[in-house]
Amino acid sequence: MIRATRIAAAAAIVSGLALGAQAVDAQQAFDRSKAPALGPAPALVLPAVKTARLGSGAAVKVVEQRELPLVHITLQLAGGGRLDNDHPGLASFTALMIREGAGTRDANALQSEIAFLGATLSSNASWDNTSITLRVSKRNLEPALDLMADVVLRPSFKSADVERQRDLRLAGLLQAKDQPGAIANRAFETALFPKGHPYHNSLSGDSTSTAALDSASVRSFHTGAYRASRATFTVVGDISETEARTLLDRRFGSNAWRAMGAERTPAPVMATPVRNTERRVILVDKPAAAQSVVIIGTPGIERTTPDYAAIMVMNTILGGSFSSRLNSNLRETKGYTYGAGSGFQFRPLPGAWQASSQVRTNVTDSSLVEFFKEMNTLRDTPVGEDELARAKAYLALGVPGDFESTAQIAGELTSLAAFNLPLSYLAEYVAAVEKVTAADVQRVAQRLIPASNATIVVVGDLSQIRAGIEALNLGPITVIPVAELMK
């Protein structure tokens, strides 16, 4: 018996050695100098979306995902910061305040109950929407929905809570005056979007508008903007359309959600984004800054443009991925920065296109040279087939991964809804990406990437960087004090 065991053990050792030798041979045969070939793109399988409408008029979209006992609900209210009108920051502040006490609960009691249920409940306002999001296990869905209904329909807006959050926001605005990134963004936004344009003011407002916030102004915004006629519920998870509609109707139906006061409407658009006739340079001094913040940009384009797929491929190549030209050049080759990129702000009203980075102070001028070199190369020279194929694969192969969780599915649905696009649009988008040619990339680059009329913002230590920037002769230079931007 002992002899048989020893023989078996010896055979196993010999077999293991043989397998190990085979593994070594396989490793030696593997050519690591070449990237493995990409396989075919996985089939895009989109979830079924069922729609309904509550008695109050609010729309409901439901996607069943039974893999996990979770439910993700996003309530999207059309409007957002564009409803601020003459009170910048009011929409974002109201979205914050609805979680500071609701129904019979103060802020502490509300947060305690949310935590006890193992739920997350968040709210925020973008320029065009206010979103309230609930994520909870299926077994705690009903009590969590009760909390969500109180937050949306019956927020307290107590004066003491408003004053506390108002003071915190004022402190945050004061701190922002010392943050180069925030300063650069404000300088860029005010340069592109003049007074009278919805995106001219900061979404968070300024110190004057914030100081004027009180319980009455927040309550007035809530009754005018948080209305069923503006509401869409997106429900994803372990729930059917019938169950979701029943549970929501019980809490957000016609009897519970009554409109009070006049409906708030966005102010008319009185100005268009500024397109320069020549390059314009804006400098903001930040003495002793170790880095400079650089933003180069121009007004963007509508999300519904037929060139959307070509634009996405073009931007992926320029600055929309880690292996993009800007990041590869400024980070990997030159070592000027930890990262550089570019992107479009797609909104119902077109936002901006911008390329940006935070670079070492002593290479600020050199970084600007590299930015424009990459932008001009993309405009002047067709991209190679390998680079084009990588960018298209990056975009097309990434779409199925956007549907791996309930939050991702809800995010895709709400994002498309902002542009009145159905979920089926994504299959058309993938097909369009696969058809983009090198000529398409160059055409949209020449159309949208500014060569001679960009707005250039640099925030940094001007005593060290100004002479170098002036020597580049990029265009007229304006120096703007921080106090003029960050009010």
Radius of gyration (C-alpha) of the chain in whole angstroms? 27
Instruction: Among 213-217, 354-358, 419-423, 443-447, name the one with the lowest average pLDDT.
Output: 419-423
pLDDT at 25: 58
Query: Nearest to residue 423, comparing CAs of 64, 50, 60?
Result: 50
pLDDT tens-digit series, residues 248-307: 999 999 877 876 778 999 989 999 999 999 999 999 999 999 999 999 999 999 999 999
- Is residue 43 pLDDT above 80, yes or no? no
CA atoms of 86 and 6, how far apart (whole Å): 88
Amino acid, single-letter form, for residue 46: L
pLDDT at 38: 66
CA atoms of 69 and 66, how far apart (whole Å): 7
**pTM to 2 decimal places:** 0.88
Residue of 80 and 19 predicted with greater confidence: 80
- Is residue 21 pLDDT above 70, yes or no? no
Residue of 249 and 16 predicted with greater confidence: 249
Judging by beta carbons within 10 Å of its beta carbon (0-12, 13-18, 19+), is residue 100 exposed, middle or buried? buried
CA atoms of 42 and 434, how far apart (whole Å): 13
**Greatest CA separation for the chain:** 95
pLDDT tens-digit series, residues 358-380: 999 999 999 999 999 999 999 99
pLDDT-based confidence at 36, cuts 50/70/90?
A: confident
